[in-house]
Amino acid sequence: MAILNPSAGTAREADWLREELASITDAEIRATEKAGDGIRMAREAVAGGAALLIAAGGDGTLHEIANGMAPDFDRCALALIPMGTGNDTARSLGLPLDPEQALKLLAEGRLGAIDLMRIDHDGSTTYALNAATGGMGGQVNESMPEDIKDRWGPLAYARAAASVLPDLPVHEVTIEVDGDNRANLQLVSLVVANGEFAARGVCVAPGARVSDGSLSVHAILDSSLPELLSLIPPILRGDVPEHDNYLHWRCKSLRVKASEGMSLSADGELIEATDMEFSVLPGALRVLGAASEQTEA
């Protein structure tokens, strides 16, 4: 089954994709109309015995479809045709960002196993392929107008960061890394990542790999405005800033307890909770063309 978000891209692009898919696969093509359709359609496809789901859309579409496949990820593989504006998940997975090139992967039929991130939050469970970002990263992305994002890319991140930094909320949290209590911290930013990229191509988690069996955690402590601004250049270069108030871990699991509700964007889905536990599911999802150990579809 192919699940298409016609709102991602233009109507002409959606029509073109329908024609291309029909010419290379006999899979049923279904179009989403509202939030939640991707989850429902993916769940129905897996229950019906589908061996491959084709997700045509942006990061949000892919996120919904992956969560619709849960928890039976071993029953079905996933293919991604990036049609969105950010396409950070495709970028992190090493997939082509051009839809025409991505379609060629369907013919090649090469599968790579990637990790998934499971997020348990206040009694609910969400799965993420790419990253969960909160604080500076989330507010920066929200504050960037669509045209600015498209025109300036990562430079728009620097511009937006400078505007939101003075008013960032400070979250009092307790963090446990692989079960080890890392004490109480005052955070202005948190990134828990499976992949490297978010915010339309910004390398928010340098060195993160989608098939290394670990999570990459990046936290920024409450600091003066000049200190926070000094972190932006290395982040835009794809480097881990060398600063006492920038913390970085690689781990299998992470628990964050906040004194008040903390908001994170997990592949575009807003999560607001006081108790969040992140864990990695190594090699849980087979993705067509993903950069990892490869097998035949």
How many CA atoms lie within 13 Å of 153's alpha carbon, on the beta-carbon side? 8
Query: Interior CA angle at 249 toward 226 and 288, to 5°?
Result: 110
Query: Interior CA angle at 203 toward 189 and 97, to 5°?
Result: 130
**Residues 119, 139: Cα–Cα separation, whole Å:** 20
| The three-state (H, E, C) secondary structure of 145-191, written as one string | CHHHHHHHCHHHHHHHHHHHHHHCCCEEEEEEECCEEEEEEEEEEEE
Query: Interior CA angle at 51 toward 104 and 1, to 5°?
Result: 65
* 239, 206 contact by CB (below 8 A): yes
Clarify whether 269 is annotated catalytic: yes
**Exposed, middle or buried, 55 (CB in 10 Å: 0-12/13-18/19+)?**
buried
Active-site choice (19, 269, 272, 277): 269
List, by residue number, the catalytic residues: 269
